[in-house]
């Protein structure tokens, strides 16, 4: 069979579902059809012989290990009609563009990779590749516990299910993986699922400051969401360095917790903006730069870290100013978004929580410059006047 039209096929599923075996089966058929084949795999996967892809069942096919997705295109020969990628979940996001370019050139691209990591979260660029593909086959393994169809990969450390936030390498531990069904796939300490919905107000507890009407976001909810944001940012900036530009003073606590959840290289800088008239709890719309960034941001990937976006005047002014300095990219990450109060439309890339129209305090946010140290986000009582 001659392939004159390019296409992308995906073979995905959990570990032990037979993805590599299926990939090799398709490659053998392509070879019988006298297609010219090249196979690539990420260097990170050196489980088996490094110049081969090899299935758990023992079948194998020659492969070229590459350190980066960008190395693939220059290595593809002009007469190659079939390109296969194994363990594609380990490639950087650029792999999607590589596959698209090959398919556009008439190449049949066959991609095998895990769709979920051991935590059951989407793995690397696989979701994006699935959406670009003409054909997707999801294979299943057998659950090691009940024998039903398995769609997930269970990670065990010293015989116990690995926790959600366990590091990828645990030194000195004995690790193994097995296939499991949804019911028997265990991930202890999984953060609460996406919590960007407005949380419910909990009554203030004895011992909490008197000015509080209640607690809107608990410390545990904040930290779980910040972990999710850290993961998303690390995924999006993989392979690049990012400048975290924190807006003082409210963004400081958020910055220090967020940066500890990042696995990408990053540097820090700060800006201070004042937009409130003294004693007034709403933005004046008149934004003043009290402290400017200490460096030239031209060509850098800048991620602005804000505590809260309310009317949007402050962040819009910051963006306008920074855009004139020609960063490579400019995005916003805010812990809180009072979306219903917006007066200026600004694109926000990462939002911790969308909250209703309350005046909130704590976790970096102040009421008349006080209470920034509270580890949770509280709501200030209506009409509260501060007398330190
Ligand atoms: P905007 O210009 O109206 O979007 O205001 C943004 C700034 O107002 C934030 O950076 C905060 O410093 C402050 N702000 C807005 N809402 C609150 C709040 O509920 N509590 C404390 N500060 C707030």
pLDDT band at 285 (very low <50, low <70, confident <90, very high): low
Domains of the chain: which residue ranges?
A: 7-139, 202-380
Minimal-distance CA residue to ligand 1 atom 10: 308
pLDDT digits (tens, 9 = 90+) for 172-226: 667 899 999 998 999 877 654 445 676 788 988 888 998 999 999 999 899 999 9
Interhelix angle 252-259/219-236, nearest 10 degrees = 60
Residue 43 is predicted with a pLDDT of 87
Minimal-distance CA residue to ligand 1 atom 19: 359
Three-state DSSP state, 105: coil
Residue 1 is predicted with a pLDDT of 46
* Residue showing tokens 């008149």: 286
Spatial CB neighbours of 274, under 8 Å, sequence gap ≥ 6: 287, 288, 290
pLDDT digits (tens, 9 = 90+) for 309-360: 999 999 999 999 999 999 999 999 999 999 999 999 888 989 999 999 999 9
Secondary structure letter of residue 210 according to DSSP: T
124 neighbors 113 (Cβ within 8 angstroms): yes
Contacts 24+ apart (CB under 8 A), 200-209: 201/358, 201/379, 204/378, 208/378, 209/371, 209/374, 209/378
Ligand 1 atom showing the smallest separation from residue 365 Cα: 21
What percent of the chain is predicted at pLDDT more than 70? 90
Q: Which two tokens stand for residue 114?
A: 């895990």
The alpha-carbon radius of gyration of the chain (Å, integer) is 25
What percent of the chain is predicted at pLDDT more than 90? 72
Q: How many angstroms separate the CA atoms of 81 and 106, rounded?
A: 7
Q: Which is more confidently placed, 244 or 239?
A: 244
Q: How many angstroms separate the CA atoms of 278 and 63, rounded?
A: 66
Q: How many angstroms separate the CA atoms of 327 and 330, rounded?
A: 6
Q: Which two tokens stand for residue 368?
A: 């008349």
pLDDT surpassing 50 at residue 2: no
Residues 309, 311, 313, 315: what is their CA dihedral angle, to the nearest 10 degrees? Answer: 10
Minimal-distance CA residue to ligand 1 atom 22: 365
213 neighbors 205 (Cβ within 8 angstroms): no
Catalytic residue among 21, 87, 178, 228: 87
Burial of 366 (0-12, 13-18, 19+ CB in 10 A): middle
Q: Is-catalytic flag, 369? A: no
Spatial CB neighbours of 120, under 8 Å, sequence gap ≥ 6: 152, 185, 187
Range 360-367 average pLDDT: 95
pLDDT surpassing 60 at residue 45: no
365 lines ligand 1 (CB under 6 A): yes
pLDDT digits (tens, 9 = 90+) for 89-142: 999 999 999 999 999 999 999 999 999 999 998 999 999 999 999 999 999 999
The CATH code of the domain at 202-380 is 3.40.50.2020
pLDDT digits (tens, 9 = 90+) for 127-185: 999 999 999 999 999 999 999 999 999 999 989 899 887 776 666 667 899 999 998 99
Q: Which two tokens stand for residue 233?
A: 């940012």
Q: Chain-wide mean pLDDT for the chain? A: 89
283 lines ligand 1 (CB under 6 A): yes
pLDDT band at 384 (very low <50, low <70, confident <90, very high): confident
307 lines ligand 1 (CB under 6 A): yes
| CATH topology agreement for domains 7-139 and 202-380 | yes
pTM, entire model = 0.55
CATH topology of domain 7-139: Rossmann fold (3.40.50)
Range 289-300 average pLDDT: 95
Q: Which is more confidently placed, 59 or 345?
A: 345
322 neighbors 304 (Cβ within 8 angstroms): yes
Where would I find the H helices in 140-248?
219-236
């Amino acid at each position: 069979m001659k392939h004159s039209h390019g296409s992308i096929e995906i073979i995905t599923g959990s570990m032990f579902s037979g993805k590599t075996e299926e990939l090799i089966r398709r490659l053998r058929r392509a070879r019988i059809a006298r297609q010219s084949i090249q196979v690539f795999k990420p260097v990170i996967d050196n489980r088996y012989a490094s110049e081969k892809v090899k299935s758990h069942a023992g079948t194998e096919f020659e492969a070229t290990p590459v350190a980066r997705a960008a190395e693939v295109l220059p290595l593809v020969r002009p007469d190659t009609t079939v390109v296969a990628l194994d363990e594609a979940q380990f490639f950087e996001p650029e792999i999607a563009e590589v596959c698209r370019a090959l398919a556009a050139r008439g190449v049949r691209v066959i991609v095998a990779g895990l769709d979920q990591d051991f935590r059951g979260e989407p793995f690397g660029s696989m979701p994006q590749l699935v959406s670009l593909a003409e054909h997707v086959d999801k294979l299943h393994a057998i659950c090691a516990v009940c024998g039903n169809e398995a769609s997930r990969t269970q990670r065990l450390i010293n015989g116990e299910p690995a926790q959600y936030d366990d590091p990828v390498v645990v030194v000195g531990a004995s690790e193994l993986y097995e296939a499991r069904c949804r019911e028997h796939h265990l991930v202890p300490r999984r953060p609460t699922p996406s919590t960007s919905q407005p949380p419910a107000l909990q009554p203030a507890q004895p011992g909490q400051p008197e000015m509080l009407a209640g607690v809107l976001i608990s410390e545990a909810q904040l930290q779980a969401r910040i972990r999710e944001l850290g993961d998303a940012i690390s995924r999006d900036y993989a392979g690049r360095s990012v400048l975290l530009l924190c807006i003082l003073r409210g963004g400081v606590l958020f910055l220090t917790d967020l940066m500890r959840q990042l696995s990408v290289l990053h540097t820090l800088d700060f800006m201070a903006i004042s937009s409130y008239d003294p004693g007034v709890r709403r933005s004046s719309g008149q934004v003043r730069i009290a402290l400017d960034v200490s460096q030239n941001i031209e060509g850098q990937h800048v991620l602005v870290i804000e505590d809260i976006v309310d009317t949007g005047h402050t962040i819009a002014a910051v963006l306008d100013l920074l855009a004139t300095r020609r960063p490579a990219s400019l995005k916003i990450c805010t812990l809180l978004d009072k979306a219903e109060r917006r007066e200026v439309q600004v694109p926000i890339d990462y939002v911790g929580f969308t909250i209703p129209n309350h005046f909130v305090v704590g976790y970096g946010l102040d009421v008349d410059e006080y209470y920034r140290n509270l580890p949770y986000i509280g709501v200030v009582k209506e009409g509260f006047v501060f007398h330190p």
